[in-house]
Amino acid sequence: MSKIKEKLTKELIDFLQGERIISLITVDKETKKPTVSTISWLFAHESGEKIKFALGHKSSSIENIENDPYIVLNVVGPESCYEIKGTGNVSEIMQGTMKFRVVTVEIDSVEDVIFYGGKINAVPGYEKTYDAELANKIDHEIYSELKK
The residue range of the domain holding 95 is 4-146
Task: Tell me how many domains the chain contains.
Answer: 1
CA-CA distance, 54 to 22, in Å (whole number)?
12
Residue 2 has a pLDDT of 61
Instruction: Compute the average pLDDT of residues 64-90.
Output: 96
Long-range interactions of 142-148: CB distance < 8 A, separation 24+: 142/41, 142/54, 142/96, 142/100, 143/18, 143/41, 143/43, 145/54, 145/94, 145/100, 145/102, 146/18, 146/41, 146/42, 146/43, 146/52, 146/53, 146/54, 146/102, 147/43
When pLDDT is cut at 50, 70 and 90, the band that residue 148 belongs to is confident
Strand-pairing partners, residue 4, are: 111
Residue 59 has a pLDDT of 96
Q: What is the pLDDT of residues 10-48, one digit of tens each?
A: 999 999 998 899 999 999 999 999 999 999 999 999 999
Are 71 and 24 a contacting pair, CB within 8 Å? yes
Are 84 and 75 a contacting pair, CB within 8 Å? yes
Are 26 and 64 a contacting pair, CB within 8 Å? yes
- For position 34, which CATH number holds? 2.30.110.10
Please tell me the pTM assigned to this model: 0.93
Per the prediction, the chain carries an average pLDDT of 94
In 19-85, alpha helices (H): 60-67
Given a cut of 70, is residue 1 above it in pLDDT? no
Residue 49 has a pLDDT of 97
